[in-house]
Structure 1
Amino acid sequence: MAYFTHILLHNIIPLSIMIAVGVLLQRLFKLDIRTLSKLNFYLFSPAVMFKMLYESNLSFGIMMQVLLFFAIFFGLLFLLMEVVVRVRRYEPGMRSAMRNSVIFYNSANYAIPLNQLVFVGDPFTLSIQIIVMMMQSLLPNTYGVYSVNAHKRDMRATVRTMLTMPVIYVIPLAFLMRGFDVPVPQPIYDPINQISNAFVATALLTLGVQLGNMKWALKLSDVLLSNVLRLFVGPALGFAVVLLLGIEGMMAKALVLSCAVPTSLSSVLLAVEFDSEAEFASQAVFSSTVLSIFSVTTVIYLLQYVG
């Protein structure tokens, strides 16, 4: 019950308030959502990624183990979604939106506080979550951009779009600067820090603006299917991969928990930026965040049987 209350008070209610503010602002002022999405992709997301990787203390061994887990987990989840979207016979736009709503999950502003709550601020489990967050930031800016554009543009145009995403350059830059102990001058680091602090608020406001602009006319079955796959099948598959690789202890628990969080805001940002089923994406994020109160609490309880 304590986990349920904490998740409700410290995750769901604050997120919901920020989303509601976005809805209200959209109804009052009719904001330009494309501008908001560009701010998220080209400014706030790269800043928060650089800051977290530059300040982290990741060991090479842990990174390799987590990356192996993530590669297998992501591959299996992707194959599962290919079966689902083909069985459901979705159109190309809806196919990528459904896929992205399940394979991209909120590994930053939801999963990191959750990790610190469940594991009582353990730096080892936090380092595991940061690696997952890095991959979940890189993939939407590469594969995610490709998936929402593949049916609308030729390959060269899609690749050119992917190469404009700052995150794909920020990640190796942060690792190189941290690895070689290159200091960031304070006049540069202060703006990076301030911009990164605005990431969560701006992303949630963007979701609220999109929700405030919707007609809510999609089939509920599609949204519920996305929620079930993300919140229940996701962590179950993560547990299977942990067993497959023989991972035990705190690492196993942290990896399973990392798979249990709701749909990422990046799926909405992609859908808005590239005009690809934005209404479905927004509904999937909002509903999975609310339902995660129950699903994540269940996963936390079951962690005692992991590892």
Structure 2
Amino acid sequence: MSIFISVVFPVLLVFIIGYGIQKWKKVDIKPISTVAIYVMTPALVFRTFYEAHIDIQYIYMVVFSLILLFSLIIISKVYSRIKNYSTSLESGLILSTAFMNAGNYGAPIILFAYGEAGFAFAVSFLVLQSIIMNFFGVYYAARGMAGIKVAIKAVCLMPATYAVIVALLLKSFDLTFPTNLYRTIDMIAEATIPTVMIILGMQLAQIKWGNFEWDKISYAVVVRLLISPLIAWLITLAMPLDALLAKVLIVSAAMPSAATIVIYAIQFDSRPKLISSVTLISTLISILTITILLSIL
């Protein structure tokens, strides 16, 4: 109970505030999301990579992410074949199970649970997941349409990608960023996490209840909240990971379905109602599952 009160509840409360504001004022989320994506997140990402000590653990993080991704994709492919689902439904299940909400849910949970050291890993994982999501997520959402071309373009248009590159170049050439400009980035970075948390609450408020495909939702929720962290734990056992990083990766793998994927599903008409319902239900159930997982870890 203490973990719920000290870690999960503060995060949940911010989501509830965003949810309440959206229900009350019917705010247009797009301008806020645009600021978060193009200004705030790049500032947070730049600060994290500029200050981080990059070592072999970050390579392990990349390997971990790819193994987890392809494991989850294979599970959904096999399940879809067994059930004789259409390609469209298979893509919908992959989208709702293979991509977790490592940003506006996972990062704040890890910040409260493991402090700044864990948070630095969480932001790095957030960037990596964003790149993976923008490539593979777009590919599966647009499969049979624009596919890989659109996926590559999505990654190239992601501002956080360039924030990482600039930060790593400065570190590589041992260049110091001007202090006065860095203070600006620092201020924006500090506001990023609460802003994206409120945005998630607002996004959840827009998902409509009713006519849920419970059999498919149940499968997706079990894979996302239970099987995914289990696979993550097994991967961490097989890799020489830092103990804190291992915990961060397992908790991140237990996050609910990514809200960003709903946008792709709508854009490419890839079972958007199913994916949005999985996002909503997995987010609600994750309040319990994440509390239990943090207690175990």
In the superposition, the TM-score normalised over structure 1's length comes to: 0.79
Letter in 2 for 1:221: D
1:76 deviates by: 1.7
Distance 1:41 1:278 in 2: 22
Distance 2:161 2:81 in 1: 30
Residue 66 of structure 1: aligned partner: 61
The 5 A counterparts of 1:11-26 are 11-26=11-26
Is 1:171–2:167 an aligned residue pair? no
Residue 49 of structure 1: aligned partner: 45
SS of 1:111's equivalent in the other structure is helix
Select between 219-228 and 202-211 the one with higher mean Cα deviation.
Answer: 202-211
Distance 2:249 2:44 in 1: 22
Q: 1:12 to 1:85 in 2, by over 3 A?
A: farther
SS of 1:214's equivalent in the other structure is coil
Distance 1:207 1:277 in 2: 22
Distance 2:153 2:24 in 1: 36
Is 1:105–2:100 an aligned residue pair? yes
Q: 1:35 to 1:250 in 2, by over 3 A?
A: closer
Q: 1:230 to 1:152 in 2, by over 3 A?
A: same
Residue 234 of structure 1: aligned partner: 228
1:150 deviates by: 2.1
Distance 2:36 2:273 in 1: 18
Residue 251 of structure 2: aligned partner: 257
Q: 1:215 to 1:5 in 2, by over 3 A?
A: closer
Residue 81 of structure 2: aligned partner: 86
Distance 1:116 1:209 in 2: 22
The 5 A counterparts of 1:226-305 are 226-245=220-239, 247=241, 249-303=243-297
Distance 1:202 1:177 in 2: 27
Is 1:212–2:220 an aligned residue pair? no
Q: How many residues of Structure 1 are paired with residues of Structure 2 in the alignment?
A: 296
Work out whether residues 207 and 280 of structure 2, in 8 Å CA contact, stay in contact via their aligned partners in 1: no
Q: 1:191 to 1:276 in 2, by over 3 A?
A: farther
Q: 1:302 to 1:188 in 2, by over 3 A?
A: closer
1:2 deviates by: 0.5
1:203 deviates by: 6.8
1:160 deviates by: 4.1
- Gap regions ≥5 residues in structure 1: none
Q: 1:51 to 1:273 in 2, by over 3 A?
A: farther
Distance 1:154 1:70 in 2: 21
Distance 2:257 2:228 in 1: 11
Work out whether residues 47 and 195 of structure 1, in 8 Å CA contact, stay in contact via their aligned partners in 2: yes
Q: 1:84 to 1:273 in 2, by over 3 A?
A: same
Work out whether residues 225 and 286 of structure 2, in 8 Å CA contact, stay in contact via their aligned partners in 1: yes
Distance 1:98 1:207 in 2: 23
Is 1:135–2:131 an aligned residue pair? no
What percentage of aligned pairs have identical amino acids? 20
- What is the root-mean-square deviation in Å for CA atoms of aligned residues? 3.3
1:240 deviates by: 1.0
1:163 deviates by: 3.5
